[in-house]
């Protein structure tokens, strides 16, 4: 199913599961009309960027940077190849929205990228697709073939002077390639190791050419923004937080899945849409924006609305919109152990503070979880944290530190309990029951 629930949906409106992703369905929903309008009524690049700015669309990949502003950094009249790159690497634990956008509305991504190409004077684009979603990648390639056959891609689009080529690039299992400069290295056929910035991609990007990278959901929003007008899109959300957004809800709710809701919707409403807590249990904590966002205790998130500003005021980040819900059956030490393992595994190893720091964090949390923690371990973790912040090439170092810092801050007593009693506060069978895993047949 495309969406388990929605309030005023935009990106996912009018979809009918697997039956409505094709070009003809998208066109029937008004698709490619905005591209036509732009090319056939003589809209300028400034007009398009102006509309995106008005919408206050903020990047949906994690950082929430205003898209219109990012687009205005591209040196549009710089001669030669310029690139637009879509980030469908979606590896941030908890995030599965881009997969559904690509699965059910791939042409919205394509139209958004073509319009972006026009607005920034770019003539080529790539969409970098997460390695694990082969079927979605294949479908996207089919959608590209459809667009090409209809004259929506290639030279002289819709009989105009404007040309734009677009291809899909399939990843093969590396979280770090979601970082935009690692992604560019990866498209160039190298190891996905982030580049030093500056220079920024707008001046030195793919193959050293000016490049703009946006998330899948960001591009997919573009045709709708042009259709309804920037101002109306903005008004769907709240000031400084324009539009609707997809939230991927996972963990201890009755109906995990994707939900498209206006930014500014109360967290409690989203939780209700998910059918409430599994088994009616009590909410303990929520990671609101993918595993790299600081964890929030139940009482704090229950007072928040789902938008960049409210979640940031509550001490976390809206990030990719991946809402990981945890109830009282969760052992916070074990939860953090798994996240720390992930960052340790996925660190690309270029910077010593990140490579060594993520290894240390995992080692220490692992031993606490396994009853071998020492009283001084919590101080040790804090000192490792201090050595990572601000000392790395890319944000993975910080992303690894945020969970540790926030888990210790809000749930430190559980770590102390583990160290003192060499076991968990939450019995193993309670943790099992909380997972909802079916009983193994005898």
Partner 1 sequence: MFSADTLQKFAREVAKYPAEQKQSAVMACLAHAQEEKGWLPPEAIEAVADYLGMPPIAAYEVASFYNMYDLKPVGKYKITVCTNLPCALSGGYHAGEYLQQKLGVGYGETTADGKFTLKEGECMGACGDAPVFIVNNRSMCSHMHPEQIDKLLEECK
Ligand X SMILES: Cc1cc2nc3c(=O)[nH]c(=O)nc-3n(C[C@H](O)[C@H](O)[C@H](O)COP(=O)(O)O)c2cc1C
Residues near ligand SF4 (CB under 6 A) are 176, 194, 347-351, 354-355, 392-394, 396-397
CB of 12 to ligand X, least distance (A): 18
Give the C-alpha separation, 422 to 374, whole Å.
Answer: 10
Does the protein bind ligand X through residue 100 (CB under 6 A)?
Answer: no
Residue closer to ligand SF4 by CB (options 144, 351) is: 351
Residue 300 binding: pick among ligand X, ligand SF4, partner 1, none (C-beta 5-8 Å cut-off by kind): none
CB of 351 to ligand SF4, least distance (A): 3
Residue closer to ligand X by CB (options 133, 157) is: 133
CB of 222 to partner 1, least distance (A): 22
Segment interacting with ligand X, rule: CB under 6 A, options 158-166, 250-258, 309-317, 389-397: 389-397
CB of 209 to ligand SF4, least distance (A): 22
Residue 54 binding: pick among ligand X, ligand SF4, partner 1, none (C-beta 5-8 Å cut-off by kind): none
Peptide bond into 233 cis (omega under 30): no
Mapping DSSP to helix (H, G, I), strand (E, B) and coil, where does residue 348 land? coil
Residue closer to ligand X by CB (options 359, 378) is: 359
218: how many CB neighbours lie within 10 A of its CB? 24
Residue 258 binding: pick among partner 1, ligand SF4, ligand X, none (C-beta 5-8 Å cut-off by kind): partner 1
List of residues 6+ apart from 173 with CB closer than 8 A:
131, 132
Does the protein bind partner 1 through residue 174 (CB under 8 A)?
Answer: yes
Interface residues for partner 1 in 182-241 (CB under 8 A)? Answer: 186-192, 207
Cα first-last separation, the chain = 33
Interface residues for ligand X in 166-185 (CB under 6 A)? Answer: 176, 178-180
- Concatenated DSSP letters for 281-306? PPEEEEE-SSTTSPPEEHHHHHT-EE
CB of 129 to ligand SF4, least distance (A): 21
Residue 347 binding: pick among ligand SF4, ligand X, partner 1, none (C-beta 5-8 Å cut-off by kind): ligand SF4
Residue 247, beta-bridge partner list? 259
- Concatenated DSSP letters for 3-67? -SEESS-STTTT--GGGS-SHHHHHHTTTTHHHHHHHHTT--HHHHHHHHHHHT-B-TTTT--BH
CB of 399 to ligand SF4, least distance (A): 9
Peptide bond into 198 cis (omega under 30): yes
Helices (H) and strands (E) in the chain, counts: 18, 12
Backbone torsion region of residue 114, taken as left when φ is above 0, otherwise alpha when ψ lies between -120 and 50, otherwise beta = alpha
94: how many CB neighbours lie within 10 A of its CB? 23
CB of 63 to ligand SF4, least distance (A): 15
Structural tokens at position 353: 């503070």
420: how many CB neighbours lie within 10 A of its CB? 10
Are 156 and 115 a contacting pair, CB within 8 Å? no
Structural tokens at position 335: 């939860």
Of the candidate residues 9, 62, 192, 319, the single one contacting ligand X (CB under 6 A): 62
Mapping DSSP to helix (H, G, I), strand (E, B) and coil, where does residue 82 land? coil
Residue closer to ligand X by CB (options 191, 422) is: 191
CB of 203 to ligand X, least distance (A): 16
Q: Cα dist. 370→64, 69, 374, 423 in Å?
A: 37, 48, 11, 7
Residue 244 binding: pick among ligand X, partner 1, ligand SF4, none (C-beta 5-8 Å cut-off by kind): none
Residue closer to partner 1 by CB (options 34, 214) is: 214
Does the protein bind partner 1 through residue 333 (CB under 8 A)?
Answer: no
List of residues 6+ apart from 301 with CB closer than 8 A:
267, 283, 285, 286, 288, 314
CB of 343 to ligand SF4, least distance (A): 8
Of the candidate residues 34, 38, 90, 185, the single one contacting ligand X (CB under 6 A): 90
Residue closer to ligand X by CB (options 70, 418) is: 70
Binding site for ligand X (CB under 6 A): 59-63, 65, 87, 89-92, 176, 178-180, 213-215, 218, 394-396, 399
Binding site for partner 1 (CB under 8 A): 81, 90-96, 98-99, 124, 126, 130-135, 167-175, 186-192, 207, 248-252, 256-258, 291, 322, 324-326, 330, 335, 338-339, 342, 345-346, 432, 434-441
């Amino acid at each position: 199913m495309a969406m388990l629930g929605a309030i005023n949906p935009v990106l996912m409106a009018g979809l009918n599961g697997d039956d409505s992703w094709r070009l003809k369905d998208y066109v029937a929903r008004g698709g490619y009309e905005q591209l036509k309008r732009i090319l056939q009524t003589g809209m300028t690049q400034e007009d398009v960027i102006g509309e995106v700015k008005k919408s206050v669309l903020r990047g949906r990949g994690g950082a929430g940077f205003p898209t219109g502003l990012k687009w205005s950094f591209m040196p549009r009249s710089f001669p030669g190849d310029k690139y637009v790159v879509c980030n469908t690497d979606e590896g941030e634990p908890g995030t599965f929205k881009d997969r559904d956008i690509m699965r059910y509305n791939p042409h919205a991504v394509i139209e958004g990228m073509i319009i972006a190409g026009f607005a920034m004077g770019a003539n080529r684009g790539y969409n970098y697709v997460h390695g694990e979603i082969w079927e979605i990648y294949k479908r996207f390639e089919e959608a590209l073939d459809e667009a090409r056959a209809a004259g929506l891609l290639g030279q002289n689009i819709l009989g105009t002077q404007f040309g734009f080529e677009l291809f899909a690039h399939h990843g093969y299992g590396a979280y770090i390639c979601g970082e935009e400069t690692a992604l560019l290295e990866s498209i160039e056929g190298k190891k996905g190791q982030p580049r030093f910035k500056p220079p920024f991609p707008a001046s030195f990007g793919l193959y050293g050419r000016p490049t703009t990278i946006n998330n899948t959901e960001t591009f997919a929003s573009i045709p709708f923004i042009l259709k309804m007008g920037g101002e109306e899109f903005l008004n769907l959300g709240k000031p400084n937080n324009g539009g609707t957004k997809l939230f991927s809800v996972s963990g201890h709710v009755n109906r995990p899945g994707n939900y498209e809701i206006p930014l500014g919707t109360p967290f409690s409403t989203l939780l209700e849409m998910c059918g409430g807590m599994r088994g009616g249990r009590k909410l303990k904590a929520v990671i609101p924006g993918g595993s790299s966002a600081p964890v929030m205790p139940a009482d704090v998130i229950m007072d928040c609305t789902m938008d960049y500003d409210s979640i940031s005021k509550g001490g976390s980040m809206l990030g990719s919109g991946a809402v990981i819900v945890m109830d009282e059956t969760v052992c916070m030490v074990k939860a953090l152990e798994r996240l720390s393992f992930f960052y340790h595994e996925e660190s690309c190893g270029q910077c010593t503070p990140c490579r060594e720091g993520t290894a240390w964090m995992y080692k220490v949390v692992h031993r606490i979880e396994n009853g071998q923690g020492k009283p001084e371990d919590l101080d040790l973790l804090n000192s490792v944290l201090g050595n990572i912040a601000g000392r790395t090439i890319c944000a993975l170092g910080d992303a690894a530190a945020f969970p540790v810092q926030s888990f210790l801050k809000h749930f430190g007593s559980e770590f102390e309990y583990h160290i003192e009693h060499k076991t968990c506060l939450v019995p193993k069978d309670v943790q099992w029951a909380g997972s909802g895993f079916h009983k193994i047949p005898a």
